[in-house]
Amino acid sequence: MPTKRLALRIGIAGFGTVGQGVWKHLHDHRKPLEERVGARLELHSVAMRDTTKARDVTVPAEKIGTDPIAVATDPEVDIFCELMGGTGIAREATLAALRAGKMVVTANKALICDHGAELFAAAKERGARLYFEASVAGGIPIIKAIREGLVANRFGLIYGILNGTCNYILTRMEAEGKDFEPILEDARRLGYVEADESLDLDGWDAAHKAVILAYLATGHWFDLKEIPVRGIREITLRDMEWARQLGYRVKLLGVIKRDFKREEVFCSVEPSLIPADRILAKVDGGYNGVCVEGDIVGESIYIGRGAGRDATASAVISDIVDAAIDRLHNVPAFMPTYPSARIAFAELSAVKRAFYLRLDVKDQPGVLAEVSAITARHKVSIGSVLQMPAANNGHAHLVLTTHRTSEQQIRDVVAALRKDRSVLGKPLVLPIADFSAK
């Protein structure tokens, strides 16, 4: 570890929305932060891809460069902040900083999800530290809560709203009675949607975060390909209204559920029905909410802004302060350790939940009986039925809820329904949130 000194120098790679927020708030709040740390915090350098681009935050010209690797390996830099995003040059720069023994802070959930095992191994080998609070749920300190505040617990269930963009769109659709596309256009205009829209709308952003939470809960890195991931594009106003009639609200929900007896974990990201009286169902707009079920503490709920410059900058600066204190006091690299038992991804036949099933069907006698026969053949029990006429003559909407059944059984039912001549188009299946850790 480098010799202690009275000033700690911070290098930033990436100067987009989050990078500018970190620089601004570190500059504006430097004095109270320095008092807490017990040393000067110097904004030493920043690497940005385009130095000619107009920005809200002014940086002295002598501190600006274009090479993130140079910042990561600069011997004058004590704390390296990777705020570029992506998994290419961001991975290279992060590894370079860790191999140089530096304190590294990142807000990059894709990087941690895809390369977490490699990054933590590099940190352990070189006595470096990797801080990643801002990678999940923006300004909510959920990683610190799980790793530190709730360290005495084993976690049977973690679930939450992990993507503010989807939550914003669903909230406005429901409140204003507007379809998906016009609300999406507003979200684009306001800058709420990633440049690659599939990250938000198809659930991949939330899935990256769910993988990280699953690691924190189990110590195992799951492959993103193992996880059922769906976004919100198929959700209609009718679904939201029918869910309301049934006592639910629709949210994009990430779920990590662990079976301690079988040593299996199920993880998913899907639009889900949440009972309207649950606290998480009332988390609206750009906010995130995460519920953690510990075997000692019971349920803890964390709600806050999940994205944006200030919320993410708050989490990054929290990590910078932790990194500064650890460096000053020569705190050895801490890596969480977990029991060595092999943890597997749960078989679909072992995962049981209730489901919402929406069908567009021919409006003719006997259709409900056909559908009931298919569900009965696969041993899926129907809990409730709603039937409404459709805008097209000769069509009807059929909405079913099931009792708890397995993921495999509901998939088999859907496959059979798609072959039935009375069912028009693709059925929509949404899980009904199960808050039991058993």
Q: Could you give the residue numbers annotated as active site?
A: 209
Distance in angstroms (rounded) separating the CA atoms of residues 130 and 142: 16
Pairing of strands 287-294, 155-161: antiparallel
Which burial class, exposed, middle or buried, applies to 106 when counting CB atoms under 10 A from its CB (0-12, 13-18, 19+)? buried
Q: Quote the CA–CA distance of 340 and 182 in Å, as a whole number.
A: 50
Q: Is 285 left (phi over 0), alpha (psi -120 to 50) or beta?
A: left
**CA–CA separation, 82 vs 47, rounded Å?**
10
Q: How many CB atoms lie within 10 A of CB 361?
A: 22
Q: How many CA atoms lie within 13 A of 408 on its CB side?
A: 6
What does residue 270 show for φ and ψ, rounded to 5 degrees? -155, 150
C-alpha dihedral, 406 to 409 to 410 to 415, nearest 10°: 160
Residues 285 and 303: beta-carbon distance below 8 Å: no
